[in-house]
Amino acid sequence: EAQVTQNPRYLITVTGKKLTVTCSQNMNHEYMSWYRQDPGLGLRQIYYSMNVEVTDKGDVPEGYKVSRKEKRNFPLILESPSPNQTSLYFCASSGAAGQGSYNSPLHFGNGTRLTVT
């Protein structure tokens, strides 16, 4: 089954304790990205990756790191989490664009709910 898998689904941690949220896709997609979802703010992009070893900042990158050493994996790292990073996080992937410049759809994982106390 084609899917994007995130782990863990739920995570409670304390301020300053480094954590990693894993993301893996089995669709051989080049593009992967991380979003956070907050009430009243919708989905905001944190980082994205166009391919292996190619990453770039999204709209809200502060406090986050990513790496893309393999095509299928795109972990999100919070080196010193703070309470304002309490949120619902989604990883997404996408294949090559379709006809012309139009995009293929984003495939999302089921989310990781992070609470930082």
Partner 1 sequence: QQQVKQSPQSLIVQKGGISIINCAYENTAFDYFPWYQQFPGKGPALLIAIRPDVSEKKEGRFTISFNKSAKQFSLHIMDSQPGDSATYFCAASWGYQKVTFGIGTKLQVIP
Which residue's CB is nearer to partner 1, number 40 or number 117?
Answer: 40
Among 4, 23, 46, 76, binds partner 1 (CB under 8 A): 4
User: SS3 helix, strand, coil % of the chain, rounded to 5?
Assistant: 5, 50, 50
Token digits of residue 72: 């299928």
Shortest Å distance, C-beta 82 to partner 1: 23
Shortest Å distance, C-beta 113 to partner 1: 10
Query: Is the torsion defined by CA of 73, 27, 89, 50 positive or negative?
Result: positive
- Count CA atoms closer than 13 A to 102's CA, side-chain side: 4
What is the spatial distance between Cα 57 and Cα 63, in angstroms, rounded to a whole number?
A: 11
Residues between 34 and 93 with contacts to partner 1, criterion CB under 8 A: 35, 40-45, 48, 50, 59, 90, 92
Shortest Å distance, C-beta 6 to partner 1: 8
Residue owning tokens 């410049």:
101
Binding residues (CB under 8 A) for partner 1: these are 4, 31, 33, 35, 40-45, 48, 50, 59, 90, 92, 94, 97, 101-103, 105-111
